Amino acid sequence: MPRYALKIDYDGGPFQGWQRQAEGQPSVQAAVETALARLEHRQHTIAAAGRTDTGVHATGQVATVDLERDWDPFRLSEALNFHLKPQPVAILQAVRVDDDFHARFSAIERRYLFRLVARRAPVTHDRGCVWQILSPLDLGAMKAGAEALVGLHDFTTFRSSICQAKSPVKTLDCIEITEHPYAGGVEYRFALRARSFLHNQVRSIVGTLERVGAGAWSPERVAEALAAKDRAACGPVCPPQGLYLTGVGYPVDPFC
């Protein structure tokens, strides 16, 4: 059976996360599998590079699927996008891949972006797509606090209590925080890169760094929280709507 990789873009707002849910609960996986069933009339199961939570978005999710028909990749993406309407899910690209390629197990890197907007007026165009706070943050303080998190660490403090990962030890390759103009305010973007992440790790990190930027935490307290290896030492977990899975890295990029 030919195997295909799909690069997927979606608004996570209407869905109960990526993973297929109980009957009647919408998920991105179920939406794509239903569209596939319109092309090949059978049950489909697709594998994704990462299982995003409820309300989390993606601009570069990757999934693999085995099909019976030898589809032209462009026609496959066009057909899937037709059957995905009007849901906020789009197949950006479909490519034929080798049988040993797997969206999750072949991945060597995941990239996430978190968008935080500080302004007094409610956001309009980006409602549901950013986390909004009212007051500007100290960018330098957040960068100083983030330095302690880069590298190989036990991230128990920044791990959800229901995380199913076998180990809390992960390597955070990069965390970059930038400031951008935003109508009536300012936007802060947190870009994180690692081979893999723990459940709620990104949201826990951003929520903690927001406390640093707001002056409620000193930058040094981030290192102390990390060293504590205690979930109770973490700052608040920020809401999901500002989080995006922006890309997945492989030894050879199948979409090039």
Beta-bridge mates of residue 3: 66, 97
Q: Which of 9, 11, 53, 98 is catalytic?
A: 53
Task: Name which of 122, 231, 98 is nearest 183 in CA terms.
Answer: 122
CA dist., res. 6 & res. 117, Å (int): 31
Which residue shows structure tokens 């030894």? 251
Cβ atoms of residues 30 and 21 within 8 Å? yes
* Catalytic residue list contains 53: yes
Cβ atoms of residues 201 and 159 within 8 Å? yes
CA dist., res. 254 & res. 95, Å (int): 7
Q: Three-state SS for 198?
A: coil
Report in angstroms the alpha-carbon separations of 252 from 9, 97, 107, 154. 21, 11, 10, 29
Q: Three-state SS for 88?
A: coil
Helix axis angle, 201-213 to 139-146, nearest 10°:
140
Return the active site residues.
Answer: 53
